[in-house]
A = this chain, B = another copy of it.
Amino acid sequence: MAEAVSPQGGQDLLFLTDEQLRKGIEAMFFAYRGFTADPDRILAQKDYGRAHHRAVHFIHRSPGTTVNNLLAILGVTKQSLNRVLRTLISDGLVEVRVGREDKRERHLFLTQAGAALERELSDAQRDRMRTAYRAAGPVAVAGFRQVLEAMMDEDMRRHFQALRDRGPQ
């Protein structure tokens, strides 16, 4: 009653004030820094960058994916991706196989060394995620995922859901 909460819906709408939204924005900013911090440290030692991590991650997720496919998921230009792929290939972390049906396509796979790097990076990232999940609890995690999914662009949501629904490997 003393609170500025309208009888119907007031409490439910409180989380939509500019103030609440701003908190969410700042939380996203600070959290993303934490999210990338651990892999970044590992990558720096190996003379790789975030771009390499992303490529390796999604090749691991979708072995045999084509360059075009990866381009769409990563949302960068082919020149940008190519620079990264070139180093990964010449360093023996990624293997390229010319398409059997369509020989224009290049299918990308991780080598053993590539898979090892992927594991090292995602282990570090998962550790932080696990700690955060454990601290927040399952209900919070469900909400977390819901909000993130609602925040994506339409295109990205499609990519995300495709990966999500395909399950492991």
Contact = CB atoms under 8 A, between A and B. Distances in A.
Interface of A: 11-12, 14-16, 18-35, 37, 54, 61, 75, 122, 125-126, 128-153, 156-157, 159-160, 163-164, 167-168
A84 to B, nearest CB: 16
Nearest to A14: B138
| Copies of this protein, total | 2
Contacts of A133: 15-16, 20-21, 24, 147, 150
Contact of A122 (B25, B33, B129): B25
A125 B24 CA distance: 10
Given A28-B32, A126-B21, A146 B153 contact: no
Given A26-B160, A129-B151, A141-B147, 13 more contacts: A16-B130, A18-B126, A19-B167, A24-B145, A26-B163, A30-B152, A30-B157, A31-B156, A33-B75, A132-B151, A136-B143, A140-B146, A142-B143
13 contacts: A11-B138, A21-B129, A24-B141, A25-B122, A25-B126, A27-B144, A28-B32, A28-B148, A34-B156, A35-B151, A37-B153, A140-B146, A142-B143
A18 B23 CA distance: 29
Contact of A16 (B23, B31, B134): B134
Contact of A152 (B33, B138, B142, B147): B33
A135 to B, nearest CB: 4
Contacts of A147: 31, 132-133, 136, 140-141, 143-144
